[in-house]
Structure 1
Amino acid sequence: MKKLLLSLVLLISFLGNSQILDPVKWKTKVVQKSDTEFELVMDATIDDEWHMYSQFTPDGGALPSVFEYKNTKGNYTLVGKTKESPYKKVFNDIFEVDEYYFAKTAQFKQVIKVTNPKLKEVKVYVEYQACKEQCIQQDKTFTFKLPEIKATEKGEEVIKEEPKEEIVPTEIASNDIDSTSIKTEKVTETKATTETNKTEVSNEPVEEEKKGLWSIFVLAFLGGFAALLTPCVFPMIPMTVSFFTKQSKTKAIGIRNAIIYGFSIIVIYLLLGILVSLIFGADALNALSTNVWFNIIFFVLLIVFAASFLGAFEIMLPNKWANKVDSQADRGGLLGIFFMALALAIVSFSCTGPIVGTLLVQAAAGGSQIGPIVGMFGFSLAIALPFALFAAFPGWMNSLPKSGGWLNTVKVSLGFLELALAFKFLSNADLVLQAHWLEREVFLAIWIVIFGAWAVYLFGKITLPHDSPLSHISVGRLFLALLVSIFTVYLIPGLWGAPLKLISGFPPPMTYSESPNGVGYKNQGIVGATATLPEHAHFSEHGIVAFHDYDKGLAYAKEVGKPVLLDFTGYACVNCRKMEQNVWSKPEILPLLKDEFVLISLYVDAKEELPKEEQYVSPETGKEIVTVGNKWSDFQITRYKNNAQPYYIILDDNGKDLTEQVGYTPDVEEYQAWLDKGLKAFKK
């Protein structure tokens, strides 16, 4: 009975997996903006539970959507970049990176300026990845039919009418299809449609975006509190309190003035956040996380901030600014209180400037246009509350610690944190360039040295320029030194492949390292290591010998007389990595894969270009097969009528299927039973 049930499960799995999936359906249209400018609009409808990915999703995770505009030379130019509707942001703990994705709907727009009046059509090649329990690599070519270039009512959507038999349906089922809009509407109607799409996306509860803004607020608030404990800000508290107690005739007036003072501090920093958002705009902020030059500039900027905090120099605004603002503060009244708050911001800039700069960089790199505003609100709130409260209740001043050398210790500690954070931005640039200069091991080594040096400093073994003589360390400083030391020791196993979940997302992912399986991994459980590695083979996950070429792997299987485990996979396939980490690693599965099968892993998203003589047009799909990934994807579609990954088949050494195919199978017992069934079929 149990075998019967298992057979039914596998049969259902086979039937469910033997199909070409197309979870993203497209509609396109052209909107004429002026005599020579047109907007190409591509609307995607995404099946439930499926996601497709933004153009800006960071490297190291899912594949971003890519738009390639054909026949541009001498015909038209692109006006700006391809714009897209709002996306969701979520951290992927398999790839250890943030991913930006669309659910249910997505819209992409590109404005073009036509320079060739005879231009009749524009072709756009779109390549994207869609994922659910499985991932598929998709590409489509859209053909936008342009009307004759002539003056029309500005803003009217114009589509050249086509014969009815050429009208493209709303849902596009093929992998490569020419599509065009099929109706003419006024721009008011088009705008309404677009707004509806955007409303559908933005009205969904985007929990990750909310969490991101909350994280920015909390970190900014903590940054403001840290700034409060620096030598430039902390001594200002008693001076401010003294001013309000002397100038306010009654306690009520004192409390009112204190509230206005705190509110003025918030307004000043909020204006700075708004300015950053307006200067960059939403599109630029979205691009920050993957733009090489932005990340390199941020790296240099944070190094400068760190050097300032460590005592190399002071970053100060011109003294004449402070003098002018201070003279305005003497006016009194509401305006005078505001200028007092502005004077505080200018005078304390040498301590607050690096923190504010870092917060703005972090918030902007998050991609949200309101991120810098939220960050400045959190920072200013932390600064304003103590000033306002102590000014309103001066008696509380007695509970404050006295100024002293500990203030510089706080400042130096912030310098070490700035230095560590700087390398995150350099790592981002390296990941985008795929230069492999700052791989995971190097990044962790840098952090270990930085945090180790910070711990030594806190123990009093290193003295920096502005430190006071130290006869002993306080209990609080000792506790902080111990905490930093513990964190430093925690980082060390990361060099040997430990996941380091506390800082996941900061170092490069495990796949971007000198030893993807950890230092010395190949010597663990692999007898003979490279000496026994067959020609054309590689060590895959967990030391499994794998081939990345079907013919070479099959030839080896015939040579050694073993069955083949054919694995259609992808570098950016999340559930492929889950199967490898959570199923293949099990003691009941791993020996089978190492000893009983020849593993052939075919990566359908491999970008290496095939030699010219090996490139062809697929008779099944009509697509041009140019890359290695194209070749294996076409092989999967042609032979198995399936385009999803992961996808597994057991073959004999002649390439004949021995079992039904299975996809993502997280149940270890079910996967083991499937492997055993294939082994039995081979031995027969």
Structure 2
Amino acid sequence: MKKLLFILFAFLAFTKVNAQVLDPAKWTTAIEKKSETNYILTFNAVIEKDWHIYSQFTPDGGPLPLEITFKDQKGNFELVGKAKESKTTTAFNDVFGVNEIFFHDKAQIQQEIKLVNPKVTAIQAELNYQICKEVCINLEKKFTFKIPGTTTNTAVEIVPVAVTAQNATQIDTASIVPVAVEKSVPAVKANTVEQPKSDPASQRGLWSIFFIAFFSGFAALLTPCVFPMIPMTVSFFTKQSKTKAAGIKNAIIYGVSIILIYVLLGFVVTWIFGADALNALSTNVYFNIIFFILLVVFATSFLGAFEIMLPNSWANKVDSQADRGGIIGILFMALALAIVSFSCTGPIVGTLLVDAASKGGIAPIVGMFGFSLALALPFMLFAMFPGWLNSLPKSGGWLNTVKVVLGFLELALAFKFLSNADLVLQLHLLEREVFLVIWIAIFGVLAFYLFGKITMPHDSPLSHISVGRLCLGLLVLSFTIYLIPGLWGAPLKLISAFPPPMEYSESPYGVGGSNAGNTALPEGAKLGPHQIVVFDDYDKGLAYAKTVNKPIMLDFTGHACVNCRKMENNVWSDKSILPILKNEVVLISLYVDDQRPLSKSEQFTSKTTGAEIETIGDKWTDFMISKYNTNTQPLYVLTDLQGNNLNEKQPTISYVSVEEYESWLKAGISKFRK
């Protein structure tokens, strides 16, 4: 009985959610005069619990970023810089393999403009954004900012009329008109973007950067440029200091100086580029290519082709200042360490700054603090306890081995950035198989190197390999073998964030796979997830369904819809669902975020929402709202050949379990066959 009540409650809750057009964010706006020609336009959103809006800085290849567009801008006004945002959350998305950036609870966006035409009386703005919870919604909001002549200003937001469950099946969509909702909003100061409280996910992101940087600092410590300097530096402090306490104090000052130098570097990078700009650069095609080139140069240096060094004159000048003694002299000693060891630490620092830039905010500062802390700690600890120096391993060829291993890792990481650029441009030059072959080659050669089968230019003669080196070689070889099945379509979940997605593939069936049973696709069809025949054009899909006399499953989806991909990966792939989708229905996937423009003759104004329908995505969004009275994705509908719903009790279904999805499919198909 309890189970029955639970199912009934879940059904009623689902029906209520899908009975109307959802709008989980409420927007208000304000405008403030900054100078005679400059104004600050502010967009404020209150977001319903558990929903989140993606930021304008969300990386390419992930969910849809927020976009602000202005009408009649040319000759009337100019934008002053990029729109500023309030605090956002950064979290890794394992579906798209990117760090998604989003607002929750509230959002504030400010754009400064400069009037060029003094006759302008109003600014027309439009927000396009994606908001998600268990489903995703692509929304478009239009606003009018009136140039202030009074202390308050009115913004006009165009929203569709909400349609309730009671009239959903009988509504005349032609009679629905958009409603202008006026909101009187007090102006806000231009320099006070509201900052929500720090969130746990953002903190986790910074902690992960700190620990990665910290362990990178230890790796840098084990390179030929740094490790031999530990006993030399400690010996200097112990011999030059009059007392043991003075030696310890000077060593601590030395360590703190190292930390200050690298943190200052992170601060300078953040200050020059700006927190938001760093994040925007890291998701840009050209900067991904630049990062790729930089990492290849760093890797080549670590492998022994050449050394990246700062001018010797810098080191000489700094070293001369170190003789001054006192705190100033110690500070210059720390600076000398940073300059002299640059050929080993530079590539690691550069890589860390690139990775931290992708997080934005204070991430470069946090990264440099973690790196420098690991670098400075040994100098301080060995000065406090000089006897520990006896336990240090002797310098030797193993230091160059560490450097070479880091070079291989840098080279592998470089191709992730090249892959990002290729995905954005959709050039298909670095598809999944090519990426995996490159990684297999890199880690395979690294395994041979660790086993002593190949040597690098600066390696010492190797009469035998140590147990540690053997274990590391076995680990790398195991990882290399693990990558190989990926060529045949294995998901490779351990590295899912690195290679291109499964569908971005040179061989959709895996290397050596075939298209057996699907050699002749219907006109207008293609192979979708799990080799399901799918149409992306409604008319072509309907025509085919009539020829084979099968029901139609409409799949309202999006290229950037996270939960759509989760349904495809976790539900569609199930052994009880996949045969149904392949054999018993005609699947038509309609992408609501398809930005390809419609021809002028196909463009129109929606009778339901009043929005201008200009793209293919607009067309399917309007179709979904006007026909099925909802705007969420994923959304699945089973219809007969006349477009009538086959599931009367539950006309549509969304993000659900395998069992519920199977039951819904079978109920609709059963009715079609009667």
- The 1:680/1:421 distance shift into structure 2, 3 A limit, reads closer
Q: Secondary structure at the match of 1:538?
A: strand
What is the alpha-carbon distance in structure 1 between the residues aligned to residue 186 and residue 73 of structure 2?
25
- The 1:623/1:649 distance shift into structure 2, 3 A limit, reads same
Query: Quick check: 2:85–2:107 contact (8 Å CA) kept in 1?
Result: yes
Partner of 2:458: 466
Partner of 1:182: 184
Confirm whether residue 76 of structure 1 aligns to residue 77 of structure 2: yes
Deviation at 1:331, TM superposition (A): 2.5
Q: Secondary structure at the match of 1:643?
A: coil
Query: Quick check: 1:142–1:177 contact (8 Å CA) kept in 2?
Result: no
Q: Secondary structure at the match of 2:653?
A: coil
Note the 1:218-233 alignment, pairs <5 A. 218-233=211-226
Q: Secondary structure at the match of 1:232?
A: coil
Query: Quick check: 1:25–1:170 contact (8 Å CA) kept in 2?
Result: no
**Match of 1:433, as an amino acid?**
L
Deviation at 1:399, TM superposition (A): 0.9
How many residue pairs get matched?
A: 657
Partner of 2:43: 42
Confirm whether residue 248 of structure 1 aligns to residue 241 of structure 2: yes
- The 1:168/1:610 distance shift into structure 2, 3 A limit, reads closer
**Match of 1:345, as an amino acid?**
A
Partner of 1:555: 543
Partner of 1:122: 123
Partner of 2:594: 606
Query: Quick check: 1:146–1:159 contact (8 Å CA) kept in 2?
Result: no
Query: Quick check: 1:430–1:438 contact (8 Å CA) kept in 2?
Result: yes
Partner of 2:170: none
- The 1:539/1:434 distance shift into structure 2, 3 A limit, reads closer
- The 1:177/1:410 distance shift into structure 2, 3 A limit, reads farther
What is the alpha-carbon distance in structure 2 between the residues aligned to residue 169 and residue 412 of structure 1?
59
Question: Could you list the per-position Cα deviations for residues 72-131 of structure 1 after superposition, in whole angstroms to 9, with x for gaps in the alignment?
Answer: 111111111111112111122222222111111111111111111111111112111111
What is the alpha-carbon distance in structure 1 between the residues aligned to residue 59 and residue 433 of structure 2?
20
Deviation at 1:517, TM superposition (A): 6.3
What is the alpha-carbon distance in structure 2 between the residues aligned to residue 56 and residue 144 of structure 1?
24
Confirm whether residue 268 of structure 1 aligns to residue 270 of structure 2: no
**Match of 1:119, as an amino acid?**
V
- The 1:178/1:76 distance shift into structure 2, 3 A limit, reads farther
Q: Secondary structure at the match of 1:666?
A: coil
Deviation at 1:609, TM superposition (A): 1.7
Deviation at 1:522, TM superposition (A): 5.6
What is the alpha-carbon distance in structure 2 between the residues aligned to residue 665 and residue 328 of structure 1?
66
Query: Quick check: 1:547–1:601 contact (8 Å CA) kept in 2?
Result: yes
Q: Secondary structure at the match of 2:652?
A: coil
What is the alpha-carbon distance in structure 1 between the residues aligned to residue 408 and residue 217 of structure 2?
17
Bigger mean CA offset, 116-125 vs 316-325: 316-325
Deviation at 1:641, TM superposition (A): 1.2
Query: Quick check: 2:594–2:617 contact (8 Å CA) kept in 1?
Result: yes
Partner of 2:424: 432
**Match of 1:356, as an amino acid?**
V
Q: TM-score, normalised by structure 1?
A: 0.90
Question: Could you list the per-position Cα deviations for residues 577-617 of structure 1 after superposition, in whole angstroms to 9, with x for gaps in the alignment?
Answer: 22222222222222222222222222211122222222211
Q: Which runs of 5+ in 2 are unaligned?
A: 163-176
Deviation at 1:330, TM superposition (A): 2.0
Q: Secondary structure at the match of 1:373?
A: helix
Q: Say which of 384, 390, 396 aligns to 1:392.
A: 384
What is the alpha-carbon distance in structure 2 between the residues aligned to residue 170 and residue 47 of structure 1?
19
Query: Quick check: 1:159–1:181 contact (8 Å CA) kept in 2?
Result: no
Q: Secondary structure at the match of 2:336?
A: helix
Partner of 1:679: 669
Deviation at 1:135, TM superposition (A): 1.1
Confirm whether residue 658 of structure 1 aligns to residue 646 of structure 2: yes
What is the alpha-carbon distance in structure 1 between the residues aligned to residue 351 and residue 569 of structure 2?
36
Query: Quick check: 2:563–2:634 contact (8 Å CA) kept in 1?
Result: yes
Q: TM-score, normalised by structure 2?
A: 0.92
Q: Secondary structure at the match of 1:265?
A: helix
Confirm whether residue 279 of structure 1 aligns to residue 268 of structure 2: no
**Match of 1:652, as an amino acid?**
D
What is the alpha-carbon distance in structure 2 between the residues aligned to residue 310 and residue 439 of structure 1?
26
Bigger mean CA offset, 243-252 vs 108-117: 243-252
Deviation at 1:170, TM superposition (A): 12
What is the alpha-carbon distance in structure 1 between the residues aligned to residue 575 and residue 347 of structure 2?
51
Question: Could you list the per-position Cα deviations for residues 335-376 of structure 1 after superposition, in whole angstroms to 9, with x for gaps in the alignment?
Answer: 2222222222222121111112221222122212x2111111
Query: Quick check: 1:647–1:661 contact (8 Å CA) kept in 2?
Result: no
Deviation at 1:53, TM superposition (A): 0.6
What is the alpha-carbon distance in structure 2 between the residues aligned to residue 447 and residue 626 of structure 1?
43
Q: Which runs of 5+ in 1 are unaligned?
A: 149-156
**Match of 2:400, as an amino acid?**
N
Query: Quick check: 2:86–2:108 contact (8 Å CA) kept in 1?
Result: yes
What is the alpha-carbon distance in structure 2 between the residues aligned to residue 296 and residue 169 of structure 1?
40
Bigger mean CA offset, 73-82 vs 460-469: 460-469
Q: Secondary structure at the match of 2:475?
A: helix
- The 1:173/1:131 distance shift into structure 2, 3 A limit, reads farther
What is the alpha-carbon distance in structure 2 between the residues aligned to residue 648 and residue 453 of structure 1?
48
Identity in percent = 65
Query: Quick check: 1:145–1:180 contact (8 Å CA) kept in 2?
Result: no
What is the alpha-carbon distance in structure 2 between the residues aligned to residue 549 and residue 576 of structure 1?
18
- The 1:9/1:345 distance shift into structure 2, 3 A limit, reads closer
